[in-house]
Amino acid sequence: MAEYTAKKLAQMLVTVLGVVTLVFFTLRLIPGDAASAMAGDTLSGEALQVLREQMGLDEPLLTQYLGFLRNLAVVDLGETITTRIPIAELLLRALPITLSIALATIVVSVALSIPLGTLAAYMAHKGRNWLDNGLTGAAMIIDLMPSFWTALVLLLVFSLGLGWFPASGQLNWSDPWALVLRLALPVIVLSLSQVATLARITRTAVLEVLNEDYVRTARSLGWSELRVLFRHALKNAALPIATVVGLSFGNLLGGTVIVEFIFTIPGVGNLLIAGINSRDYQLVQTLIVLYALLFVVINFATDLIYKTLDPRVQF
Amino acid sequence: MADITLTATPVPKAGLLAAIAAVFRHRALSSAKVRLALLILVPILALTILAPVLPIQKPLETNLRAMMQFPSIEHVFGTDKMGRDIFSRTLAGVQVSLLVGFSVAAIALVLGMLLGTLAGFYGGLIDRAIMTVVDIFLAFPSLLLAIGLVSVMGTGIVPVILAISLADVPRFIRLQRSQVLSLRSRAFIDAARTVDASQYWLMTRHIVPNTIAAMLVAASIAAANAILVEASLSFLGLGIMPPQPSLGNIVRDGQTYLEQAWWISTLPGVVILLIAVGLHFLSDGVRELLDPRSR
């Protein structure tokens, strides 16, 4: 296990270095340079040169690159160029919000999709396919719905129409119930597509296991259906489910940008959009690296969980 | 678009044509999924092509005497705050969507087949170089990679197409490489080797034609996905910018008036969903027709 972890860790570090390098050099491909793109027509001559120096763009490319690596390594994220606020400070406020939404989505979608998928598999196994067919059809449609559209429809019905959830407003961390109501719709929107994927994977994995010999053996021992289902079938189906939860985390991060934008939640996604709109490349490059890091770390964790669940896994 | 695919890859025409012919040989229309797909896509395509001659207001034409009107016979999807016809704007948006979808699918298909074949067939250093870059690209959540790329390349149709393609190509490379790797060790390749077939002959006559079916299926899924990503980018204000209509930016425009005029945002979204469902059924149906095992 230690050897496996070390090898995966090394792979992860190589990927992270690649990610950082790619982001750095892509931003240097901006026509002109980041300073003139940022200033537009507002600055010229000397003022532009000052901005360039502030952004460190007058130094040789290699020096800039090494400086960027060094700063990331010691978590010195610098300041936003336009407003001169330390980026670390912005992240300290935004990141917990985005992570809470992502985490809540994972909890809700796992809690819903595992029973749903298991039930569908069980009924299909017994030859009653209606839940299975319904689930597969619904999952496909939900998967293909653009999430910004789903979000607007839910907002229209449940916030503006029925008034169950607030559509905007401050996030109030001291009032948990208000917070739950405020974040409910974003989490529901994100959970919908997660449940669509996860329930389908659970159904396939469980159905496969239900046909195994050891499940028949367990039944022949006279154990209850529920015990067979949860102790034997679901336990062995856990592997593919865990993998898909990890893999779909990337989609989930993309989804948080959209729901934060629609429900005006001050998370990392809104920070990113604001950064792009004000052409603050310092902020944008930090955030894109951060998203990739989150995704890479989750994939690393998934690999380790997978290995723990199934020790047979090789590199 | 298909012609570009043919000339830019080392694919012999026979490969692609054979795949398409196979679909028809198995009577494409006998597949319920293909029929359903065509039932959805053909009317949308026909309306989009016929849009300029239909008796509807032009997409950019404003009419201050018909602002925020509820859907009616005259304005099927209603009108927006400037009295523009949402149906006509939606059709113009579908044009953009289809252009983006097919361009992305074509670019990803061509680059993916080219680089994936090279990596899988030659192995060694070429393989390692290509796959290292692929792994780095795959470390980004795909929507965020597209957002990052448009933030550098700017807004408009061409940057959006390039950004989404770049985010998609790595997946195609990986798929093509794995196909080539499994084909390379098959007996018919050894057989061709024994009669002194050249590397180029092996690659273009024996390996690549056998990979096309799976790549076409992947391409049609990529097209549906690209349409959704373009809509998301435009919705966030990072893709296709107004006044040029795109399904995403029409929905964005309507967001402000959700309470007073719900049709502006919701109806174009239904059209996006329909196109995505249509393409999904099409790829599913074609996959079943091409893969005898799944029938």
pLDDT tens-digit map of A132-147: 788 888 888 888 888 8
What count of other Cβ atoms lies within 10 Å of the Cβ of residue B102?
A: 19
Which residues share a beta bridge with A86? A79
- What is the domain-level CATH number for residue B88? 1.10.3720.10
Question: Which of these, A74, A17, A78, lies nearest to A281 by C-alpha position?
Answer: A78
Q: Is B79 helix (H, G, I), strand (E, B) or coil?
A: strand
pLDDT of res. B226: 92
State pTM to two decimals: 0.84
- Is A152–B132 a contact, with Cβ atoms under 8 angstroms apart? no
In the numeric block, the tokens 């770390």 are attached to A297
Tell whether B51 is covered by a domain.
Answer: no
8 Å CB contact between A20 and A304:
no
> Nearest CA to B93 among B281, B270, B222?
B270
- Whether B11 is covered by a domain: the verdict is no
pLDDT at res. B110: 94
The three-class DSSP label of residue A40 is coil
Structural domain contains residue B97: yes
Q: What is the pLDDT of residue B10?
A: 41
Model confidence band, residue A179 (pLDDT cutoffs 50, 70, 90): confident
Mean pLDDT, all residues of chain B = 82
Task: Tell whether B139 is within 8 A of chain A (Cβ).
Answer: yes
The pLDDT of A89-99, averaged and rounded, is 88
Q: What is the pLDDT of residue B173?
A: 94
Does any domain span residue B270?
Answer: yes
Q: Could you read off the pLDDT of A145-168 as tens digits, one per residue?
A: 888 899 989 988 888 888 788 877
Nearest residue of B to residue A146 by CA position?
B228
Whether B24 is covered by a domain: the verdict is no
Where do the H-state alpha helices sit in chain A?
2-27, 34-39, 45-54, 61-73, 87-125, 130-144, 147-154, 176-210, 213-220, 225-227, 235-247, 249-262, 268-277, 281-309
B136 contact residues in A (CB cutoff 8 A): 15, 18-19, 21-22
Task: Kindly provide the ipTM of the predicted complex, given to two decimals.
Answer: 0.84
Look at residue B17 in the predicted model and tell me its pLDDT.
66
- Whether chain B has a CB inside 8 Å of the CB on A253: the answer is yes
Q: Is B235 on the interface with A (CB under 8 A)?
A: yes
Q: Which of B132, B138, B152 to mutate to test the interface with A (most CBs of A within 10 A)?
A: B152
Could you tell me the mean pLDDT of each successive run of 10 residues in chain B, 295 residues long? Answer: 36 57 65 85 86 76 74 75 80 90 94 92 89 89 88 88 92 91 84 83 83 86 91 90 87 82 83 90 81 57
Q: What local confidence, expressed as pLDDT, does residue B100 receive?
A: 93
Residues 6+ apart with CB under 8 A from B89: B59, B80, B245, B250, B268
For residue B164, give the H/E element and its range.
helix B157-184
Which residues touch B86 (CB under 8 Å, ≥6 apart)? Answer: B75, B77, B78, B79, B80, B250, B263, B264, B267, B268
pLDDT tens-place string over residues A9-25: 888 888 888 888 888 88
**Do B168 and B225 form a contact (C-beta atoms < 8 A)?**
yes
* CB-nearest partner of B144 from A27, A253, A261: A253
Please tell me which residue of chain A has the smallest CA distance to B233. A258
> Which residue of A155, A278, A288, A290 is the best one to mutate when testing the B interface, meaning the one whose CB has the most B CBs within 10 A?
A288
Q: Could you tell me if residue B54 is inside a domain?
A: no
From the list A99, A134, A102, A98, the residue with the least C-alpha distance to A248 is A102
At residue A186, the pLDDT reads 92
Q: Report percent pLDDT > 70 for chain A.
A: 95
Q: How many domains does chain B have?
A: 1
CA atoms within 13 A on the CB side of B104: 33
Across A187-210, average pLDDT: 86
**pLDDT (mean) for A255-268:** 90
Q: Which domain holds residue B257?
A: 83-294
At A31, the pLDDT band (50, 70, 90 cuts) reads: low
Asked if residue B34 is part of any domain, the answer here is no
Report the C-alpha dihedral over residues B253, B254, B255, B258, rounded to 10 degrees: 160
Highest mean pLDDT, choosing among A25-29, A43-47, B171-175: B171-175
Residue in this structure with the two tokens 């040029």, named with its chain if needed: B244
Contact A253, B142 (CB under 8 A): no
* Angle at the Cα of A308 from the Cα atoms of A305 and A310, rounded to 5 degrees: 105
Total Cβ atoms within 10 A of residue B236: 24
Q: Is B158 a domain residue?
A: yes
Nearest alpha-carbon partner for A270 in A250, A251, A287: A287
Please tell me the least confidently modeled range out of A57-71, A112-126, B4-18, B250-264. B4-18
Closest CA to A16 of B249, B93, B7, B139: B139
